[in-house]
Chains A and B, each alone.
Chain A
Amino acid sequence: MTAAGWMRRFEPTRSRPFDLAARVHVLRRAVFAHPTSWLRATQNASPSEVAAWLVNGEAPDSRERRVLARRDAILALDDVDATAAWLWSRLLTAQHPLRARMMLFWHDHFATAISKVRSCAWMVEQFDVFERFGLGSFRDLLERVSSGPAMLRWLDAESNRRGNANENFARELFELFTLGRGNYSEEDVREAARAFTGWRILRGRGHFDERLHDHGPKRVLGRDDIERGHDVLNLICGSQQHARFIAERLLRTFVGPDHPEGAIDDLARVYRDADGRIDRTLEVLLASEVVHDPRARNTRVRSPAAFAIWILRTLGLEVAPVPLHRAVARMGQELLEPPDVSGWAGEEAWLSSATWLARVRFATDLGRAADPLFPTPPLGRCIRGHGPERELDALIDLLFPEATTMGERVNLLARAVGEVRGSRDVRLAGTFTSLVLLPRAHRF
């Protein structure tokens, strides 16, 4: 595996140690949260060992198995909110947090909205594909997603027929899923659309119908040996530009919007050497110089999902999933309903007056007793210590373990202190709310 340039392994030094702050950073970037148990599991590990721990994950525990066992009951309801809430439960109980995080990543990448798909089962099937193939070969993932009923419906595959190609899927395939704008021509879109003719949905599954397929010659990206959609996917996935495109997406996600330009080619090389396998690519990336560069820290805006997962998993709070789903939707990230096929705009676009007030409300709701979100166990039982100072200290230890210097902690406390009066629960709620409304709680 060539891991050169920005992808070379981060070797800690005296001046750049792999300390708690560094570990917290990589956990936040990779899986949003850093509960004490994860910090303990990665204690004394090298950067590569942490990356391997993330990529390998752990087997479902009893809690996760209980959530997964609800599948049939949830699908029987065929209710959008219940389905989204159940997916939230999966994300929050996953013992392979990186796999769960990649489900969200692919949901953003292959952004499909239930308002058009109109089938909870098909959306769940797509999430299952994200879960099962999301850390495997991108080529396999792409093929499964493309031929799943959710995507076929979402991008009008059913009206893409011989003699009258519908370009919707072919265009987004090039533009948003694999190559990026400017790397194909309008002619390529038209021709590729013909290669995908024949796909339709039969009894809830993707089905290729030979009779509806356009068997004529097609020329895509300069190649004449294209017959079916399959050939287009192979052609794209083998291309240099595709590797760069995926590398850029991963860098934007795990390093931030301002990643070094040269890192794209370095990561593209890793991706190609890994035969397009996401797990092997991420294992290199997460242990690499570019992810561990101190300049990469705190450069991203926490998405609503990242914000919620950070708080809930780090503190070990359990909340009712339906209100949680609605709360995250109010913050601007409605699961199963991305704004369009390009996914969520992300970064600064998360920050508006309306979504900020939703963040305030979420933080407030988590702290108060009479709310439907009301966490079990409540905040009070997740936080050790009694008395304003110990409670504050315990909260800071959990949420901002990287704040290790006196100055930093004084600053956090000074900005955070709410009321010191009232019962322990009222106090904790106030302190918690003010801590998670600090600007630094909204970047990672």
Chain B
Amino acid sequence: MDENHDDKRGDERGIRCNRREVLAGALALPMLPCGFRAPGFLQEPAPAARSKNLVVIELAGGNDAINTVVPHSDPEYARARPTLAIRRGLHPIDERVSLHPALARLSALHAANEAATLLGVGYPDPDRSHFRSMDIWQSGRTDVEDPRLGVFGLAADVLHRRGATLPAIALGISKRPLGLAGRSFVAPALTTLVEHRLELGDVVPELEHARERALDDRTEPDVGDDALDRLIKKTARQAYGSARTLRQLAAKRPGGGTAATFEAACALAADVLTSSIGVRIVWLRLSGFDTHAGQARVHGPLLAELDRGIGTLRDMLDRGGAWQTTRVVVFSEFGRRVAENRSRGTDHGAAGHVFLIGRGLRSGVHGDVPSLVDLERGDLRHAFDFRRLYAELLESWLDVPPLDAGVRAPASRFLT
């Protein structure tokens, strides 16, 4: 480095301070305050009496609704899908529709009255951009140009205010989804639990505590902090807090917990939800549904992955005693065009289907099978606005007023 950095610029700097004075000032201030109080996030979460949980599964890229819930009784289906129509191995879930052959577990859950299929779900004036449509699905808003807040992030804010230290978490994703973006609570997005730890380097154990305290100290409010300072400090504070919480959790589990695959993320979600650390909302994502070309090759394996993940989630939650209190909702930003393209794929569409899974809900197939002929610019029309389901999940499951999460739609009645 430059040897002059120390002094030559001094004149340019205006008031040049005396090092000795500065350090004396620094040392005179309490450097490592010895815990006068335990910060909120250090306190144990109140042992919740099996609070109700929600698992959101996002199918990213636009899942082809028509080949997921196949209208086997509609003669138009084969016409619209000359190469992609599925004829064999379907799992009928009522007289009108069947699930894709890869969805064996989901079909069994239908048979056991633990799953519902909601047909023709969407929103008015559908947008065929992945980003815009995902923004709409995750924010619940069509009237906000560039939404920054997600429905379940706002719900997590409410739960956080009520004392949950870690109300929401995204697993298997490194970036917080918009759906979990709230105003105050910063939901962690993790691919492994091990990843979520505080690394303090080669610190001798006696110093570790002091270092951690020093970090905490730096998240304390200062006079003159602006909104961005406060956000950075809050993020840091919650990072340290959740790291401590998950450290306790990972310590109890061999392997520490990784979410390298969707199924592993589902297993981790079950772990987190059965561990009573106060997580209420888990967000999972399965990507790759943007099947513009060669759809048959990729769609089946993706749905099989989804099916395995749902099965694992359900079984582990059941063993852990939390299946009764969990609802799983599976959505995608849009369905795909009714007519297949020449690349044996399908382009962006509009309405899709939603799966709602759990014990004790109104199982079965709800709604009319969308027409394959009466289309909206080549796409399925929606008959049910997804925000009605959000309203119900918020109101009667998470006990959060829908309006607090930006949802104005009247609640549906699928859960009870």
Q: Contact residues of A with B, CB < 8 Å?
A: 19-20, 35-37, 39-40, 43, 156, 158-159, 161, 163-164, 166-168, 171, 175, 181, 186, 298-299, 301, 315-316, 330, 332, 334, 339-342, 345, 348-349, 351-358, 360-361, 364-365, 367-370, 382-385, 388-390, 392-394, 397-398, 401, 404-406, 409-411, 413-420, 429-430, 433-434, 437-440, 442-443
In the docked arrangement, what's the CA distance between A233 and B20, Å?
62
B237 to chain A, nearest CB (A): 9
Q: Which residue of A lies closest to B7 (CB)?
A: A397
Q: Given A159-B342, A345-B175, list of 10 further CB < 8 A pairs?
A: A164-B343, A171-B129, A332-B174, A332-B175, A352-B186, A352-B187, A353-B188, A353-B239, A357-B195, A437-B215
Compute how far the CA of A161 lies from the CA of B27 in the bound complex, rounded to whole angstroms. 71
B199 touches A361 (CB 8 A): yes
A229 to chain B, nearest CB (A): 18
- In the complex, are the beta carbons of A186 and B5 less than 8 A apart? no
B359 an interface residue at 8 Å Cβ cutoff?
no
Task: Check A356/B215 contact, CB under 8 A, given A36-B2, A413-B26, A417-B27.
Answer: no
B interface majority secondary structure: loop
B3 pairs with A384, CB closer than 8 A: yes
Of residues A330, A404, A420, which shows the largest number of chain B Cβ atoms within 10 Å of its Cβ? A404
Select the residue from B12, B217, B348 with max chain A CB neighbours within 10 A: B12
What are 7 pairs between A and B in contact, CB < 8 Å?
A352-B175, A385-B6, A394-B6, A405-B14, A410-B17, A417-B27, A439-B218
Cβ–Cβ contact B348 & A167, under 8 A: yes
B237-273, CB < 8 A from A: 238-239, 242-243
CB <8 Å contact, B3 and A413 = no
Cα–Cα, bound, A439→B234 (Å): 10
Tell me, yes or no, whether B176 is within 8 Å of chain A by CB. Answer: yes
- Asked if B44 is at the interface (CB within 8 A of a chain A CB), the reply is no
From A357, A361, A393, contact of B19 by CB (8 A):
A393
**3 closest Cβ pairs, A-B complex:** A164-B342, A159-B343, A353-B188
The answer to whether B199 and A357 touch across the interface, beta carbons within 8 angstroms, is: yes
| Chain B 11-35 near chain A by CB (<8 Å), digits 1 or 0 | 0111111011111011101010000
> Are the C-beta atoms of B1 and A353 separated by less than 8 Å?
no
In the complex the two chains form, is B15's CB within 8 Å of A406's CB? yes
- 8 Å CB contact of A404 from B14, B148, B341, B342: B14
Output the least CB separation between A276 and chain B (Å).
Answer: 25
Contact call B26/A414, Cβ cutoff below 8 A: yes
Contact B23 A413 (CB under 8 A): yes
Q: A156-B292, A159-B341 are in contact. Are A315 and B1 (CB under 8 A)?
A: yes
Give the number of residues in B that approach A within 8 Å (Cβ atoms).
75
Query: Is B17 a contact partner of A357 (Cβ separation < 8 A)?
Result: no
What residue in chain A is nearest B166 (Cβ atoms)? Answer: A353
B388 interface hit (Cβ, 8 Å): no
- Whether, in the assembled complex, B112 has its beta carbon less than 8 Å from a beta carbon of chain A, the answer is no
Query: Which of A37, A159, A298, A401 contacts B9, CB < 8 Å?
Result: A401
Q: B408 at interface (Cβ–Cβ under 8 A)? A: no
Q: In whole Å, how far is A295's beta carbon from the nearest beta carbon of chain B?
A: 11
For residue B352, which residues in chain A have a CB less than 8 angstroms away from its CB? none
Contacting residue for A36 out of B4, B181, B217, CB 8 A: B4
Contact of B201 among A368, A406, A410 (CB under 8 A): A368
Q: Which of A348, A382, A405, A440 has its CB near the most chain B CB atoms (within 10 A)?
A: A348
Would A433 and B175 be within 8 Å (CB), given that A186-B377, A438-B218 are in contact?
no
In the complex, residue of chain A having the shortest beta-carbon distance to the beta carbon of B30: A414
Please tell me if the beta carbons of B23 and A392 are within 8 angstroms of each other in the complex: yes
Contact among A37, A392, A434 with B2 in the assembled complex (CB-CB below 8 Å): A37
Distance, CA A405 to CA B1, complexed state (A): 24
On chain A, the residues within 8 Å of B174 by CB distance are 330, 332, 334, 354-355
Instruction: Give chain A residues whose Cβ lies under 8 Å from the Cβ of B5.
Output: 36, 384, 394, 397-398
Residue contact A353 to B243, C-beta cutoff 8 Å: yes
Main secondary structure of the interface of A (DSSP, over half): helix
Which residues does chain B contribute within 8 Å of A440, judged by CB atoms?
229
CB <8 Å contact, A164 and B341: yes
Is B341 in contact with A389, judged by CB distance below 8 angstroms? no
Interface centre among A40, A175, A354, A364 (most CB of B within 10 A): A354
- B183-234 with Cβ < 8 A to chain A: 186-190, 195-202, 207, 210-211, 214-215, 217-218, 222, 225, 228-229, 231-233
In the bound complex, do residue A349 and residue B341 qualify as a contact, i.e. CB atoms below 8 Å apart?
no
Q: Is A166 touching B341 in the complex (CB atoms < 8 A)?
A: yes
Inter-subunit contact A163/B342 (CB<8 Å): yes
Most buried by B among A43, A361, A369: A361
The answer to whether the Cβ of B347 comes within 8 Å of any Cβ in the partner chain is yes
Other-chain residue from A167, A385, A388 in contact with B23 (beta carbon distance below 8 A): A388
Whether B195 lies near A19 (C-beta < 8 A) is no
How far is A36 from B5 in the complex, measured between Cα atoms in Å? 6
Contact A439 B232 (CB under 8 A): yes
The CB with the most chain B CB atoms within 10 A, among A351, A368, A417, is that of A351
CA distance A400 to B161 in the complex (A): 36
Tell whether, in the assembled complex, residue B188 and residue A439 are in contact, meaning their CB atoms are under 8 Å apart.
no
Q: Assess A410 versus B229: contact at CB under 8 Å? Given A161-B342, A384-B3.
A: no
Say whether B345 faces chain A, with CB atoms less than 8 Å apart: yes
CA distance A339 to B181 in the complex (A): 17
In the assembled complex, the CB of A406 is this many whole angstroms from the nearest CB of chain B, namely 4
Given the known A-B contacts A159-B343, A166-B292, A364-B199, are A409 and B22 also in contact in the complex, defined by CB atoms under 8 Å?
A: yes
Question: For the complex, what is the distance from the CA of A439 to the CA of B201, rounded to whole Å?
Answer: 20
Q: Which of B29, B201, B242 contacts A433 (CB 8 A)?
A: B201
Taking CB atoms, residues of chain A closer than 8 Å to B347 are 166-167
Residues of A within 8 A of B362 (CB): none
Closest-by-CB residue of B relative to A344 is: B175
Q: Which residues of B contact A168 (CB under 8 A)?
A: 292
Point out the residues of chain A lying under 8 angstroms from B50, CB to CB: none
B75 to chain A, nearest CB (A): 24
B9 in contact with A414 (CB, 8 Å): no
**B235/A353 in contact, CB under 8 A:** yes
Cβ-neighbour of B207 out of A163, A361, A415, A419 (below 8 A):
A419
A19 touches B12 (CB 8 A): yes
Tell me the minimal C-beta distance from A217 to chain B in angstroms: 20
**Contact present for A40 and B23 (CB under 8 Å):** no
Is A390 a contact partner of B19 (Cβ separation < 8 A)?
yes
Interface: B91 (CB within 8 A):
no
- Note all chain A residues with C-beta closer than 8 A to B17: 405-406, 409-410
Q: Contact string, B356-400, partner A, CB cutoff 8 A, digits 1/0?
A: 000000000000000000000100000000000000000000000
Is the pair A439, B22 in contact by a Cβ cutoff of 8 Å?
no
